[in-house]
Amino acid sequence: MRHPAKQDGFTFIEVMMALLIFGIGLLGIMALHVVARKGNNEAQNLSAATAICEHWMERMRTESTMWQTGASDLIASETPMLAPLAPGVMTPGATTGWIAPPHNPLLNKTLEERTTVSGGSAIPIGEYCTQYRVTTLIPGQVLRAEVRITWWKENVKRPVSWNTCPAHTGAGGDPDITKSHVITLSSTLWRNPPGS
């Protein structure tokens, strides 16, 4: 007796199951790619913001080397970042409040913008708002310097012409952390007496 020839191959259901498993795996890889891209953008923004923050802090440290005797050393022409505190440098707890740094040829604006080329055109990746504050800790001796950088979170609706920091601050002038990322760097600045 002859048996019908056995046909090897996959049934329609087996093919559909394989496609379903492949599709689920492909969706997982695509989701992983989106998360990795977002993480990479956030890391780049954090790195750029940190570099800007360190630049301004280093500038204040440099200016503090010219602070030798008292408030008379803190003048806008020589120490533009520390000069706003001059009237309160002998008063404990005196502060400038959060203010924009002075003009700098290298970092020419409060709003720092980093761009990348995509399809032949530059697109903004991160917009950075720079603010600093100086506070008297020990009158005539030690100051506290803080630099704060904020930038928008992804997919946040921004004002049409955003060119000042307060546009995205919350209550009390503090950054609205639901809309922006924030890093703050602080340091102490010591008076540099003559002959030291």
pLDDT digits (tens, 9 = 90+) for 133-157: 999 999 999 999 999 988 888 777 7
The residues pairing with 153 across neighbouring beta strands, listed in sequence order, are none
Report the b/e string of 38-52 with b at 16+ CB within 10 A: eeeeeeebeebbeeb
Residue 7 lies in a domain: no
* Cα 191 from Cα 196, distance rounded (Å): 10
User: Which has the minimum average pLDDT: 24-38, 55-69, 91-105, 111-125?
Assistant: 111-125
Q: How many CB atoms lie within 10 A of CB 112?
A: 19
Higher per-residue confidence, 125 vs 52: 52
Q: Quick one: pLDDT at residue 169? A: 57
Residue 172 lies in a domain: yes
Q: What is the mean pLDDT of the chain?
A: 79
Name the pTM for this structure.
0.70
- Assess whether pLDDT exceeds 90 at residue 82: yes
Q: Quick one: pLDDT at residue 190? A: 94
Yes or no: say if 116 and 166 are a contact pair by the CB < 8 Å rule: no
DSSP state, residue 107: S
Question: In angstroms, how far is CA 101 from the centroid of its own chain?
Answer: 15
Q: Quick one: pLDDT at residue 183? A: 92
DSSP state, residue 85: G
Q: Give the pair of three-digit tokens for residue 86.
A: 């001059």
Residue 62 lies in a domain: yes
- Assess whether pLDDT exceeds 50 at residue 10: yes
- Structural domain including 170 reads 12-190
| Count of domains for the chain | 1
* Cα 66 from Cα 75, distance rounded (Å): 10
Residue 41 lies in a domain: yes
Residue 196 lies in a domain: no
Residue 5 lies in a domain: no
Residue 25 lies in a domain: yes
Higher per-residue confidence, 57 vs 7: 57
Residue 143 lies in a domain: yes
